[in-house]
Amino acid sequence: MTRPLVRVIGSVNLDIVASAPSLPRPGETVIGASLTRHPGGKGANQALALARLGADVRLWARTGIDAFADEALALLRAEGVDLSEVIGLPDSHTGVALIGVDAAGENQILVASGANARMRPEDLPPDITEALLCQLECPVEVVAAAIRRARGFVALNLAPYAPMPLDCLQRLDLLVLNEIEAEALGDQVAQAGGAVAITLGAEGARLLRGGRETARVRPPEVRVVDSTGAGDVFTSALMLSLLEGGDDKGALRFACIAAALSATRPGAQTACPTRREVEDLLAGDMT
């Protein structure tokens, strides 16, 4: 099978993760946490997930010119992602996500966007012929411009939520959002073009077309270690399966299994499963 070519436009962060028995409430200090650092950012996470699952990937992004950039891009380089369109900006820092994770794998995330917020529509390629995947950890006007320039399959992960122009929603072949984001989008969910995937946490996900549900899948039962990045893996896996011609039910199942696998490991990019791992679980082989 020919590997699909996907251009990802999105964020690059370095994730600084504190793992503790519980997450703090407002005004509370929790001590005794352990500290790790992982490459992250929704754009970079999804680019790496696509590469590990079987796509050829080109990332368009911005970083600072600093040590954080080298660390944040390390796994992407190792997986062969094309980074020729990742530009370091001398007057900004690489994005940083401060992440708290509790014993149940739930997380809280605070993002200092840095260079991700410095993306500009005028710097985009004039014509985007590959399949396109975007998220919203970068300026909405950049994402909107990219969608309007795209000529192939277009997917958008509407996270973190921000309003999108209606013409961009109607242009989509795939929209991925969670229940909270779907509630915020309201009636426009039914106006989105193509498939709409709504993730349901531990309950799995559902897929709709034209407002009608075409598939619903529950994930396999796994021991959750860290749910950071699971949504990014889900988005990438679903997009890739649809690009490869998968039917709605099969594509949704592939995505739910990939996301579940990622939640069994710490970190975001470090937790992205390979194609073989997902296919083994699909076949009922847990070895």
Give me 144's structure tokens.
Answer: 């909107």
Question: Hey, which bits of the chain come out as E strands?
Answer: 5-9, 13-19, 34-40, 56-64, 82-89, 95-101, 107-112, 131-134, 154-157, 174-178, 195-199, 205-209, 212-217
* 232 is known as an active-site residue: yes
Give me 287's structure tokens.
Answer: 């070895």
Strand, coil or helix: what is 156?
Answer: strand
Contact of 173 with 195, CB cutoff 8 Å: yes
What angle do helix axes 248-262 and 230-243 make, rounded to 10 degrees? 150
What angle do helix axes 275-282 and 42-53 make, rounded to 10 degrees? 70
Which of the following is catalytic: 15, 173, 226, 232? 232
Give me 198's structure tokens.
Answer: 């709504």
How far apart are alpha carbons 151 and 212 in whole angstroms? 26
DSSP type of residue 271:
G
Bridge partners of 61, per DSSP, are: 86
Give me 177's structure tokens.
Answer: 């959002």
* Catalytic positions, written as ranges: 232
